[in-house]
């Protein structure tokens, strides 16, 4: 459907029509997101102990696949279809304890915590029963630090997806970061999900759009480093204050790093600051409407309000204003596509290539 030249010096961006047609939006739903890794939000707060269970949708209001995350009595985590294999009823409707396994409230069909069929009343005379179709579908589930992820049909291995991020920030005790509800909120952006990612993936606009942020960063040292399934933007402090204490042997040891801004294909951003983590989850709703969920995890509260991560709400509102204008602009009959700055838009070029390859 789309082709992006591998040479950034020759490549053109995705066309304006990509951001404005239902056909492209549906192609992204099935060929990108249904095959992606997605975070199971609130899992770290809800499914902590043996027999805890939490129903959820794969992607709220976008891919509404009913799923169930639970821990069995041995504290092993499982992710299963939350649909009874008898008549399709939702099995678990609210977070709860499953002391007796999973029991359907419609006709009493029972399942083991790993999804295997256990029993059902009134089955005398049934042939070829039970069979594999009577088990609940099991989905892969992985935990990275305190966060859980799953995929309906993963297009690439989970370990490859997080490898670059783990290599860069593996020294941080992310498991000790604590969720801060007061600093977490959702934003509705009147733009295509991919335009939001386009904007995130380059620091080119920082001096023009984010004056306060630009004052804290050495823009000449700002850079993007690519991984197989994502990238990181490395923010260097202009004055040397509010930076990470990097361990000896770290590839950036000796540099005044103010922030690591990771993007994992297609829609999750991990922004690490000396005070902790700001997590952005981009959820498509319509071809021109996106929900962005900000979740803050604080490590060192004494460093809040300082440095590159001082006023994230302002940065977000500045980004929204620009992206919503770009959404309008891409609908113009006079706009076809753009070109990539080789020095500043490596991340956007990588994103467009991954999108084009997927759909």
Q: Which residue has the tokens 């209001």?
A: 61
Answer for the pair 139, 158: CB distance below 8 angstroms, yes or no. Answer: no
Rounded to whole angstroms, the Cα distance separating 117 from 1 reads 42
Q: Look at residues 280, 43, 298, 259 and name the one whose alpha carbon lies nearest to residue 177.
A: 298
Instruction: Kindly give the confidence (pLDDT) of every residue in the chain, 359 residues in length, as a single tens digit, with 9 standing for 90 and above.
Output: 799 999 999 999 999 999 999 999 999 999 999 999 999 999 999 999 999 999 999 999 999 999 999 999 999 999 999 999 999 999 999 999 999 999 999 999 999 999 999 999 999 999 999 999 999 999 999 999 999 999 999 999 999 999 999 999 999 999 999 999 999 999 999 999 999 999 999 988 888 788 887 788 888 889 999 999 999 999 999 887 799 999 999 999 999 999 999 999 999 999 999 999 999 999 999 999 999 999 999 999 999 888 777 778 888 888 899 999 999 999 999 999 999 999 999 999 999 999 999 99
Decide if domain 38-150 falls under CATH 3.40.1010.10. no
Predicted pLDDT of residue 218: 87
* β-pair partners for 141: 150
Predicted pLDDT of residue 219: 80
Answer for the pair 250, 167: CB distance below 8 angstroms, yes or no. Answer: no
* Helices and strands per DSSP (H, E), number in the chain: 8, 18
Answer for the pair 354, 347: CB distance below 8 angstroms, yes or no. Answer: no
- Give me 206's structure tokens: 């920082």
Instruction: List, edge to edge, every strand of the sheet that includes 96-97.
Output: 96-97, 52-59, 63-71, 77-81, 138-139
Q: Look at residues 34, 157, 41 and name the one whose alpha carbon lies nearest to residue 95.
A: 41
- CATH class of domain segment(s) 164-358: alpha beta
Predicted TM-score (pTM) of the model is 0.94
Q: Look at residues 193, 168, 163 and name the one whose alpha carbon lies nearest to residue 280.
A: 193
Predicted pLDDT of residue 313: 83
Beta strands in the chain, from DSSP E residues, in sequence order:
38-39, 52-59, 63-71, 77-81, 96-97, 102-103, 110-111, 117-119, 138-139, 141-144, 147-150, 178-189, 223-226, 230-236, 257-264, 268-273, 276-286, 289-298
Domains of the chain, by residue range, sit at 38-150, 164-358
- Give me 276's structure tokens: 């902790």
Q: How many CB atoms lie within 10 A of CB 63?
A: 17
Predicted pLDDT of residue 245: 93
Q: How many CB atoms lie within 10 A of CB 49?
A: 9
Predicted pLDDT of residue 211: 81
Predicted pLDDT of residue 305: 84
């Amino acid at each position: 459907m789309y082709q992006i030249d591998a040479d950034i010096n020759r490549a053109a961006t995705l066309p304006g029509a990509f951001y404005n047609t239902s056909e492209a939006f549906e192609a992204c739903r099935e060929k990108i997101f249904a095959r992606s890794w997605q975070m199971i939000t609130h899992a770290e707060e809800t499914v902590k102990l043996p027999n805890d269970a939490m129903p959820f949708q794969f992607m709220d209001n976008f891919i509404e696949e009913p799923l169930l995350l639970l821990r069995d009595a041995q504290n092993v985590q499982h992710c299963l279809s939350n649909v009874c294999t008898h008549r399709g009823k939702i099995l678990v409707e609210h977070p709860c304890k499953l002391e007796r396994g999973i029991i359907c409230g419609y006709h009493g069909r029972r399942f083991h915590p790993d999804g295997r069929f256990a029993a059902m009343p009134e089955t005398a005379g049934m042939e070829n029963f039970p069979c594999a179709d009577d088990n609940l579908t099991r989905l892969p589930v992985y935990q990275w630090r305190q966060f859980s992820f799953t995929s309906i049909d993963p297009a690439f291995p989970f370990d490859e997806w997080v490898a670059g991020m783990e290599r860069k920030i593996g020294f941080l005790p992310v498991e000790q970061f604590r969720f801060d509800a007061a600093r977490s909120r959702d934003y509705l952006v009147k733009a295509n999900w991919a335009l939001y990612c386009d904007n995130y993936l380059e620091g080119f606009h920082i001096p023009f759009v984010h004056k306060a942020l630009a004052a804290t960063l050495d823009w000449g040292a700002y850079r993007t480093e690519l991984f197989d399934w994502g990238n990181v933007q490395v923010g260097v402090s202009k004055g040397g204050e509010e930076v990470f204490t990097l361990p000896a042997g770290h590839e950036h040891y000796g540099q005044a790093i103010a922030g690591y801004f990771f993007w994992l294909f297609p829609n999750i951003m991990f922004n690490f600051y000396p005070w902790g983590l700001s997590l952005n989850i981009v959820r498509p709703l319509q071809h021109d409407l996106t929900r962005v969920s900000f979740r803050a995890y604080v490590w060192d509260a004494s460093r809040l309000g300082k440095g590159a991560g001082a006023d994230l709400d302002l940065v977000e509102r500045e980004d929204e204003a620009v992206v919503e204008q770009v959404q309008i602009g891409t609908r113009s009959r006079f706009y076809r596509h753009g070109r990539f700055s080789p020095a500043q838009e490596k991340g956007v070029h990588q994103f467009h290539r991954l999108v084009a390859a997927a759909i």
